[in-house]
Structures are given as C-alpha cells and as structure tokens.
Amino acid sequence: MVITIDGPAGAGKSTIARALAERLGLRYVDTGAMYRELTAAALAAGAELDDGAALAALADTPPPPGSDLRAEAISRHVSAVSRHPQVRAAMRGRQRAQAVDAVLEGRDTGSVVCPDADLKIYLVASAGVRAARRAAELDMPVDEVERSIVQRDQLDSEQLAPAPDAVVIDSSGLSVEEVVARIVALLPVAAATPLPGDRFWRTVRPVAEPVFRGLLRLSVTGAEHVPRRGPVVFVANHQSMWDIPALGAAQPRAIRYMAKSELFRPRPFGAFLRMGGTFGVHRGEPDREALRTVHETLVGGGTVGVFIQGHRQEGFEQAKAGAGRIAVVEQADVVPVALRSRNWRPGSRIAVAFGPPRRYARDGRRAAEAYRETADQLMADIRSLYEGAG
Ligand code: DC
C-alpha cells in the first residue's frame, strides 16, 4: 500500500506521515529530506544553485557528515535547488524505488511521484499555525518564521498543486492523533490494519536486506515482475533454509510465509517466526485455519509465500495441489519463483528468478482437477525459470 502526504511547509506532514507509517506498519519516506541533503551537498561543494545539470549530478553525493538538514541556511536554499527539472527527475527515480508499502511525504508525491497511490492526502494549515509550529521546533521568533514560510510557499508553488484526487485535510485545529484517525478512516477496513509481520519487516529490512544480499551473494532476475502493491502469492521451489531470507531480500514486499507447523515447536523460534508474519500449516490434511490466514492476508493487500512441494527437495516433482488451490481460489497475482540454493555454504551464490505474475481460474474444470493442473503448471514454470537462473 502507498499513501502520499503533500502540502506546504509546516502543515504537519512529517509528524503525521511518521505516525501514520508507525500505525499501519508501513515505511516512512521523507522526500523533503532528500532535497535538503542535496542542498547541503551542493552548498558544501560550492555548486551554482541555478545550474540544474550540475546539481542533478550531485544527487548521489551524501551531505557532509553532521549536516543539520533543518537548519535555516538549508531551508533558505532548498527551493532554489528543488525547482530544477533535472534535479526533480533524479529524485523521482529514487523516490519511486522506495514507494513500496510506504507513506511518502513531500510536495508532489501524490501528483507526480506516485500518481496511482492508494490514498493521497493534501495537508494544509493556516500560515499562523504553521509558523508557530516551526518556530517552536527551531526556537526562533514566530514572525520571522512566518515570513520565511510564506516566501517558501511562493518559491515551491509550482510543486504545490494537490493531485486532483487528493483529500484535503486542514490540520489547524487538530491534534496529531485526530489527523491520523481521519486518514485511517479513509482507508478500506482491510488496509487500515497492519498485517502480522509488516512491522517486523519494515524494521528489519533496512539492515537485513543488504546483509543477506551480500552474505548469500544473491543473483536476482525478474524482480521487476513482482507487483509493488496489492495481493501477491509467491510460489517457489525449496532447496535450503536460506530460501526464506533469500526470497525476502530479493524483492521489496513483506512476505508472510506458510511453513509446516512443526517448525514452530521450539517456542522461541516459533515466536520469532510469528513476528515475521510466518504462519503454520498442518501437512497431510486440509488446514482451514491456514487457508483462512492466506485469504485474510491477500484481502488485506499483503503477500503470501508458499513452497509448492511442501518441504525441501532438490528436484521438481511432487507439486502439492494446495498451492494450485490458493492460485485458483484467491483473487491475487501469482508469481512463480525459482530458488537455486542447494548446498549453500558461505561463499557460494543463491540465484532467485521471478516469473511474470498471472491469475488463475477454474475455467469450468472440476475443482480438484483445476488445483492439480495449476500446481503442475506452476511447477513447470518454476522449473524453466530455474534452468534459466544465474
Ligand atoms: O518538507 P521539507 O520542508 O523538508 O521540504 C524541503 C523543500 O524540498 C521544500 O521547500 C520543497 C522541496 N520539496 C519538493 O520540491 N518536493 C518534494 N516532494 C519535497 C520537498
């Protein structure tokens, strides 16, 4: 899910976006901070602030260590830096890459960066209220801050048009909790509740993803096939326990894995798995509870990871019809995944290959037949992805 919060300086975007991300288990992306970092880098490099190409070339340069991004000197120049189309184009790519299960905050995140966001908010407040908030933050006289805010609104005006489908909220007389509650009330019920594991993934991913990518020497193909939002079922083969972090790190979505219930038996490990959103399935019997969890996760716009053979196996036989059932019954994109992780040892490489997403249906077949054939089809797709995988 992607929510954008745009609006003028001091409208309360950062506070609201952070609180909302926390509440919904989403990541928080501060696009203004990216422009502020670039401004700090540009000032340190002595760049000409009216040279858009030169500034865009600095887009990957980190600001000097210890820069105070909120300092008045940065605020004064950030509009001059951010108005250049070359700068905006460079930032847009980076912002879109982070727009997965996220709350984005800025000026144009709903109108330009994520035009198909699930929900767009345009937050406003009176100039007096905005100045009072900023003045308290910066410990400066209110009238001075108000002058600078009004000036920055003028300079930012080009970026400051709300998306036509944005919901305007005036935060002037409202507390943070009240604004967050109004936004949450605008979401479909299923989306307003974080799924188990969302918080865990959001917290752990920034550290775990680079670590696992490096440790497992991941070679990833077809990651662009993974839908950035909406319900997804990953259907994979399974060769080693490293498949779990490998698949998690190879693509941006938070995955709820279906795992055999025996795995939860050592209590602390079971608790750890649950924290990551993993849920148990009893094998050899239709497990209604597990299927309900699959359904609820997908209805909530989440993703489920299923190992199609039910356990670790080197070959490509014995696809379980249960995976076919999920593919046929659920309204979700089904992404086949090949994992080449057999005998992984430190130093060796794991290959992950994603196929294009597909939807499956019964198409007039008997249910059992449709499930079986879909599972076999998926297994064949995984096998051919495996053969092409790095
Ligand atoms: O939200 P902020 O005050 O940290 O933003 C700093 C500046 O960055 C703001 O004056 C305009 C610019 N900005 C922008 O042009 N587009 C965005 N999406 C976010 C910020």
**Which residues are within 8 A (CB) of 90 and not within 5 positions of it... i.e. 6 or more apart?**
56, 59
Minimum CA distance residue for ligand 1 atom 2: 32
* pLDDT given at position 3: 97
Q: How confident is the model at residue 297 (pLDDT cuts 50, 70, 90)?
A: very high
Q: Which range marks the domain in which residue 262 is found?
A: 198-388
CATH number, domain of 343, equals 3.40.1130.10
Please check whether residues 137 and 8 belong to one and the same domain. yes
Please check whether residues 161 and 236 belong to one and the same domain. no
Is the Cα dihedral 166, 167, 173, 178 positive or negative? negative
What is the Cα–Cα distance from 176 to 152, expressed in whole angstroms? 24
Shortest-distance atom of ligand 1 to CA 83: 15
Please check whether residues 311 and 381 belong to one and the same domain. yes
Minimum CA distance residue for ligand 1 atom 10: 79
Please check whether residues 118 and 171 belong to one and the same domain. yes
Task: Report the share of the chain in percent with pLDDT over 90.
Answer: 81
Q: How confident is the model at residue 345 (pLDDT cuts 50, 70, 90)?
A: very high
Shortest-distance atom of ligand 1 to CA 109: 18
Residue 79 lies in a domain: yes
Please check whether residues 382 and 248 belong to one and the same domain. yes
Please check whether residues 101 and 219 belong to one and the same domain. no
Pocket lined around ligand 1, Cβ cut-off 6 Å: 9, 31-33, 35-36, 78-79, 82, 106-109, 152, 156, 159
Kindly report, residue by residue over 301-316, the tens digit of the pLDDT.
999 999 999 999 999 9
Inform me whether the pLDDT recorded for 11 exceeds 80.
yes
C-alpha 90 to ligand 1 mean position (Å): 14
C-alpha 166 to ligand 1 mean position (Å): 18
Residue 192 lies in a domain: no
Please check whether residues 266 and 301 belong to one and the same domain. yes
C-alpha 375 to ligand 1 mean position (Å): 49
Tell me the mean pLDDT in the region 172-185.
95
Kindly report, residue by residue over 23-62, the tens digit of the pLDDT.
998 999 999 999 999 999 999 999 999 999 999 999 999 9
Domain final position from 186, 218, 248: 186
Residue 191 lies in a domain: no
Residue 359 lies in a domain: yes
CATH number, domain of 138, equals 3.40.50.300
- pTM value is 0.82
Structure token digits, residue 81: 């830096």
* pLDDT given at position 202: 85
Domain final position from 155, 186, 217: 186
> Which of 15, 34, 69, 78 for a ligand 1 pocket mutation test, highest count of atoms within 8 Å of Cβ?
78
Residue 127 lies in a domain: yes
* pLDDT given at position 188: 82
* pLDDT given at position 152: 85
C-alpha 159 to ligand 1 mean position (Å): 9
What is the Cα–Cα distance from 78 to 90, expressed in whole angstroms? 15
Domain total of the chain: 2
Other Cβ atoms within 10 Å of 310 Cβ, number: 18
- What does DSSP assign to residue 342? T
Residue 45 lies in a domain: yes
Shortest-distance atom of ligand 1 to CA 112: 18
Kindly report, residue by residue over 184-197, the tens digit of the pLDDT.
999 987 778 888 89
* pLDDT given at position 191: 79
**Cβ–Cβ under 8 Å, residues 227 and 333:** yes
Kindly report, residue by residue over 231-255, the tens digit of the pLDDT.
999 999 999 999 999 999 999 999 9
Inform me whether the pLDDT recorded for 110 exceeds 90.
yes
Residue 193 lies in a domain: no
C-alpha 32 to ligand 1 mean position (Å): 4
**Owner of token pair 């009238």:** 143
* pLDDT given at position 206: 87
Domain final position from 166, 186, 206: 186
Please check whether residues 227 and 106 belong to one and the same domain. no
Kindly report, residue by residue over 348-365, the tens digit of the pLDDT.
999 999 999 999 999 999
Inform me whether the pLDDT recorded for 263 exceeds 80.
yes
Residue 262 lies in a domain: yes
C-alpha 207 to ligand 1 mean position (Å): 27
Please check whether residues 154 and 216 belong to one and the same domain. no
Inform me whether the pLDDT recorded for 13 exceeds 80.
yes
Inform me whether the pLDDT recorded for 149 exceeds 90.
no
Please check whether residues 170 and 238 belong to one and the same domain. no
Please check whether residues 112 and 62 belong to one and the same domain. yes
Say if residue 284 is exposed, middle or buried (CB neighbours under 10 Å; 0-12, 13-18, 19+).
exposed
Please provide the size of the chain in residues. Answer: 390
* pLDDT given at position 175: 94
C-alpha 25 to ligand 1 mean position (Å): 24
Please check whether residues 123 and 242 belong to one and the same domain. no
